[in-house]
């Protein structure tokens, strides 16, 4: 008689439709926020996470699964977190509060300390120790963390490889200028044509960032900044578009965590031929368009809207990156569902505002926008 082998322990994947990262995340005993969006990351409930010594919650929205990690952490007034070392790069965006971050390499490496404020964004380089402090005594700090842990944990399923690894990174980075002012370089490698790319690891205020280029092709006369974190594969972009306008619908791959530095509006997301999902947003909102879903951004406020998109690995770029795919992966205004315009003008009327979308944009597929104003 042949005996059946013992049932192996599932590490995630196709057998139970969860990834290794999902099982690890659930084992932490912390809140996990799912669904399509979170309207305000500054108000969600958190729970103490012993691994980091602070209150934390995980965020796994539709479109993030298996691609990127988002979590929110809170540092109490006047407190400093214990030193920590992570073996993958991590982007940190400041939702609320002011503080300091110190990074160093090795046990006796020189320490670099920089100060941040609301809407700051910075990179914690892989293999560097770091320590984060809340410098205010009257307000907690809230931070949004973004990394590629779900992907790499599918390849190496031992959490200690990432959190408790004695490996010391070689001196690969220019530590003197690691958190210096970002620098711009021309980039002609993008599939959407030449553009400016800003290189750096610290951006002091994404709500006030004004070094923008026209974002031609997406409509609304919008502007954009593309950011590549120095010494890292991580990248992002921020789009700024005028009040009382909206962008064209488009689609691409999964895993772009979109956080709002400023403005008031909503986005519509839908899978082709399926029901539309409306996401309302303002400062500190977060959402992720699922892979292959069309999505469209609407500014219903009186000031320019800003959305900061933290990008997944380049392998997940997906659709809408090739000029030749525009007709398939972008919907021009004259070709959009009439309900889109009707809803937008209705939302404007509720606020006693009037759309400034030019009539020509709805008639002419080659309509040219005025990019003189962000």
Looking at the fold, whether 154 and 218 belong to one and the same domain comes out as no
368 in any annotated domain = no
Looking at the fold, whether 240 and 143 belong to one and the same domain comes out as no
347 in any annotated domain = yes
5 in any annotated domain = no
Residue 246 has pLDDT above 60, yes or no: yes
Mean pLDDT of 23-37: 97
Looking at the fold, whether 192 and 309 belong to one and the same domain comes out as yes
Residue 12 has pLDDT above 70, yes or no: no
Structure tokens at 347: 């939302």
Residue 9 has pLDDT above 60, yes or no: no
Looking at the fold, whether 156 and 198 belong to one and the same domain comes out as no
Looking at the fold, whether 189 and 92 belong to one and the same domain comes out as no
Higher pLDDT residue, 89 or 217?
89
Taking the complete model, does pTM exceed 0.85, yes or no? Answer: yes
- Residue 319: the pLDDT is 52
Which pLDDT band, with edges at 50, 70 and 90, does 224 fall under?
very high
Mean pLDDT of 327-350: 94
Residue 191 has pLDDT above 70, yes or no: no
Q: How many CB atoms sit inside 10 A of residue 193's CB?
A: 10
Structure tokens at 168: 């010391």
Looking at the fold, whether 135 and 283 belong to one and the same domain comes out as no
**Residue from 146, 299, 116, 148 nearest 222 by CA:** 299
Q: How many domains would you assign to the chain?
A: 2
Residue 297 has pLDDT above 80, yes or no: yes
267 in any annotated domain = yes
Interatomic CA distance for residues 299 and 347, integer angstroms = 10
Looking at the fold, whether 186 and 156 belong to one and the same domain comes out as no
**Residue from 265, 254, 354 nearest 301 by CA:** 265
**Residue from 31, 206, 116 nearest 124 by CA:** 116
Lowest mean pLDDT among 125-134, 156-165, 175-184, 356-365: 175-184
Which pLDDT band, with edges at 50, 70 and 90, does 285 fall under?
very high
Looking at the fold, whether 143 and 190 belong to one and the same domain comes out as no
Read off the CATH number of the domain in which 116 is found. 2.60.120.10
Residue 16 has pLDDT above 80, yes or no: no
Looking at the fold, whether 199 and 312 belong to one and the same domain comes out as yes
Last residue of one domain, picked from the residues 133, 166, 199: 166
Looking at the fold, whether 153 and 199 belong to one and the same domain comes out as no
Lowest mean pLDDT among 3-7, 36-40, 42-46, 145-149: 3-7
Looking at the fold, whether 276 and 194 belong to one and the same domain comes out as yes
Mean pLDDT of 85-108: 95
53 in any annotated domain = yes
Task: Give the domain range for residue 273.
Answer: 178-363
1 in any annotated domain = no
301 in any annotated domain = yes
10 in any annotated domain = no
Percent of the chain with pLDDT over 90: 78
Q: Average pLDDT, whole number, for the chain?
A: 90
């Amino acid at each position: 008689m042949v005996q059946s082998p013992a049932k192996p322990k599932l590490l995630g994947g196709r057998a139970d439709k969860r990834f290794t990262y999902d099982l690890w995340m659930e084992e932490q005993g912390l809140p996990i926020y799912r669904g399509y969006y979170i309207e305000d990351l500054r108000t969600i409930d958190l729970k103490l996470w012993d691994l980091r010594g602070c209150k934390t919650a995980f965020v796994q929205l539709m479109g993030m699964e298996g691609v990127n990690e988002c979590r929110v952490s809170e540092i109490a007034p006047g407190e400093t977190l214990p030193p920590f070392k992570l073996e993958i790069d991590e982007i940190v965006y400041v939702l609320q509060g002011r503080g300091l971050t110190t990074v160093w390499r090795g046990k006796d490496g020189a320490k670099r300390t920089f100060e941040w404020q609301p809407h700051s964004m910075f990179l914690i380089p892989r293999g560097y120790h770091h320590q984060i402090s809340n410098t205010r005594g009257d307000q907690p700090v809230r931070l949004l963390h973004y990394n590629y842990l779900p992907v790499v944990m599918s390849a190496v399923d031992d959490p200690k490889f990432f959190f408790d690894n004695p490996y010391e990174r070689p001196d690969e980075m220019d530590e003197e200028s690691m958190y210096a002012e970002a620098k711009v370089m021309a980039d002609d490698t993008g599939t959407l044509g030449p553009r400016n790319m800003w290189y750096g690891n610290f951006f002091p205020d994404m709500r006030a960032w004004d070094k923008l280029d026209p974002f031609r092709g997406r409509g609304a006369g919008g502007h954009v900044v593309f950011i590549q974190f120095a010494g890292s594969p991580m990248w992002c972009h921020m789009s700024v578009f005028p009040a009382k306008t909206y962008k064209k619908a488009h689609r691409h791959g999964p895993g772009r965590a979109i956080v709002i530095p400023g403005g008031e509006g909503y986005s519509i997301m839908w899978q082709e031929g399926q029901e539309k999902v409306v996401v309302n947003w303002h400062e500190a909102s977060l959402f992720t368009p699922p892979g292959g879903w069309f999505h469209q951004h609407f500014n219903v406020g009186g000031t320019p809207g800003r959305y900061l998109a933290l990008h997944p690995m380049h392998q997940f770029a997906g659709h809408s990156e090739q000029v030749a795919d525009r007709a398939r992966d972008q919907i021009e205004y004259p070709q959009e569902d009439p309900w889109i315009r009707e809803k937008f003008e209705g939302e404007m009327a509720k606020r006693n505002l009037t759309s400034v979308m030019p009539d020509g944009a709805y008639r002419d597929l080659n309509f040219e926008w005025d990019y003189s104003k962000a």
